[in-house]
Structure 1
Amino acid sequence: MDTNKRTFIDVIWRLIMFICALTVIFPLLWIILESLKTNKEFFANVWALPSQFRWENYKNAWEMYHLGSTMLNTLYYVGVSLALGTFLATLSAYTLTRVEFTGRKFIWGTIMISLFLPGINALVPQYVLMRDLGLTNSLTGLVILDSFGESVFFLMLLGGFMQSLPKEMEESAFIDGASLFQVFIRIILPLSTPGIVTVAIFKFLGLYNSFLGPFIYLSDAKKYTIGVAMYHANQLMQYKADWVTLFAGVTIAMIPTIIIYIVFQRQISEGATLGGVKG
């Protein structure tokens, strides 16, 4: 009897998951199909299949929206922010969870309190600070802002993972004469690789899809990231109706995140529970 109930519940959950998956996959497939039509076909029937695949729409989108330079801007912004931000998050998590010093609990508690403060509240003071430092309209300024303005979520994720590591290995290294930095580099970093990879994946997805920060701080079109570039491309549709080229641009913009998800889908799925069990 219990087995039948579990089986029925499993079927219901699988059906719900299937419907949720369709709500994500269907819009993606629809955009790709629309990007292969002509504008005439698009306005005639948005649900019909294209009579012929118009691959030139992708070439037009690449040239019209300057996606080559935009991708380079995004690569610099995401790449440097990812490397620097992940290292700083790992270093901060190690310091706050493994190193004993006066005021550590107070600092950690203050950081936890910030979880209850909406991030939008910091938008104005951040902008004023960036403006006074001359870092507006600068990709490097965005890198600094995203790297040093660390997310509490990543600190909690890495902190919970590091707390599960045995303390004896650090103590043995200190007895052998290792410095604090050597312990961090040679012991903590290798053992924390699963947590660091998970944080790096989430940071990449967040940075690549970031819109508000680049939209506010970048005023030069030559410095736009992919999110801002596609926003302005969408705004152009108020004056011209070249929707198929826009869909082609959106499809190009989606490719990196889709590749990252396909390659690291297991780590992304496991990331939600990382550090939740202490050993």
Structure 2
Amino acid sequence: MQERRTFVDASWYVLLLIWSVSILFPLLWVFYESLKTNQEFFHDVWKLPTDLQWMNYGDAWTEYGIGSSMLNTVYYVGVSLIVGTFLTAINAYVLTRLEFKGKKLLWGVIMLSLFLPGINALVPQYILMRDLHLTNSLTGIVVLDSFSEIAFYLLMLSGFMQSLPKELEESGAIDGASIFQIFFKIILPLCTAGIVTVAIFKFLALYNNFLGPFIYLGDPDKYTIGVAMYQASQIMQYKADWVTLFAGLMITMIPLVLMYIFLQRNIMEGATLGAVKG
């Protein structure tokens, strides 16, 4: 029995190793291709570069607008993340801790939205944004993504709040605390792990969002990083400068890699805690 368990464990290790290599190898390939010249790239895509061409990163930052689009992305993701996460926390608190008429109906509508593809709302959203003169504006898509609640995040955070004992709010109310004081001083501190988990998922979704900025932004100076990389890839139809494009791709991955390195424990702890409490 022990030998069988050891063999199964070894098999899982081999499968995980193969999976890891399949993920890491393309990233490493893009990295060392970004340090080549275009002549070296077209001569042999597997050969390592002879001289490291770090200037490709500077060219990607300036020529393809990666620098300005990164600043636009910081504004778009930063503001949308803060406002959106705060509104998700408020919504989860109202729907899980407060009692009011129509609560079950509201939950039913939210659950129903899980079965509706988001693309269905694209046309009415665009018409609304156009009528409010919020198209071709970074602030416009910030408003759109901040106030567009996603049921998945709401359900995830609701699982944390539902696990909290009701006596905490009752004791706060006895001491004279208002609903807002209970929310800010009792609920939020106890749900920090859940809020961080939701914020991480929101960050990934916002940073990788392409369709929204692509549709609503028409000015190249306002492009986010996803749209800027798409435009750079379109230029490759007329200009074979693939090594600079690879350098830009590596720059766009830096925030995601840093987030994974520093916050992977928060992701695991938050997801596990939500599964146990929910």
TM-score bin, normalised by smaller chain: over 0.9
What amino acid is the match of 1:66? G
How far does the alpha carbon of each residue in 1:13-34 deviate from its partner, in whole angstroms, 9 at most, with x for none? 2222222222221111111100
Query: What displacement does 1:272 show?
Result: 3.9
Number of the residue aligned with 1:18: 17
Amino acid at match of 1:259: L
| Deviations 1:225-267, CA, capped at 9 Å, x for gaps | 0000000000000001000001011111111111011100122
Given that residues 78 and 208 in structure 1 are in contact (C-alpha distance below 8 angstroms), is that contact kept between their aligned partners in structure 2? yes
> Which range is displaced more, 13-22 or 214-223?
13-22
Inter-partner Cα distance in structure 2 for 1:205 and 1:126: 22
The answer as to 2:64 corresponding to 1:68 is no
How far off its partner does 1:205 sit? Answer: 1.1
How far the C-alpha of 1:104 sits from its partner, in A, is: 0.9
Deviation by residue 1:49-98 (Cα, 9 ceiling, x = unmatched): 00111111111111101222111110110000000000000000111011
Matched, 1:78 2:88: no
The share of aligned pairs that are identical, in percent, is: 67
What does 1:86-235 align with in structure 2 at a 5 Å threshold?
Answer: 86-235=85-234
Question: Structure 1: how far apart are the matches of 2:39 and 2:207?
Answer: 33
Offset, 1:207? 0.6
Instruction: Show structure 1 runs of 5+ residues with no match.
Output: none
Q: Residues 164 and 275 of structure 1 are in contact (CA less than 8 Å); yes or no, is this contact kept in structure 2?
A: no
How far apart are residue 276 of structure 1 and its match? 2.0
Distance 2:262 2:131 in 1: 41
- CA drift of 1:10 comes to 1.9
Residues 230-239 or 62-71, more deviating: 62-71
Deviation at 1:141, TM superposition (A): 0.8
Deviation at 1:223, TM superposition (A): 0.2
Contact kept in structure 2, 1:74 and 1:226, CA below 8 Å: yes
* Structure 2: gaps of 5 or more residues: none
- Counterpart position of 1:36: 35
Q: Is the counterpart of residue 245 in structure 1 residue 244 in structure 2?
A: yes
Deviations 1:124-180 (A, max 9, x none): 111111111111111111011111111111101100111111111111001111001
Whole-Å separation in 1 of the counterparts to 2:118 and 2:249? 28
Between Structure 1 and Structure 2, how many residues are aligned?
278
CA distance in 2 between partners of 1:203 and 1:260 (Å):
12
After superposition, the C-alpha distances for 1:188-213 in whole angstroms (9 at most, x for unaligned) are 00000000011111111111111010
Q: 1:264 is matched by which residue type in structure 2?
A: L
What's the counterpart of residue 259 of structure 2? Answer: 260
Query: How many Å separate the matches in 2 of 1:14 and 1:97?
Result: 41
Alpha-carbon deviation of 1:9?
Answer: 2.1
Partner-residue secondary structure (3-state), 2:165 = coil
- For residue 274 of structure 1, report the CA deviation from its aligned partner: 4.1
Give the letter for the 2:197 counterpart: T
Q: CA RMSD in A?
A: 1.2
Secondary structure of the residue aligned to 1:47 is coil
Find the aligned partners of 1:129 and 1:231 in 2 and give their Cα distance. 26
1:138 counterpart letter in structure 2: S
8 Å Cα contact 1:162/1:192 also seen in 2? yes
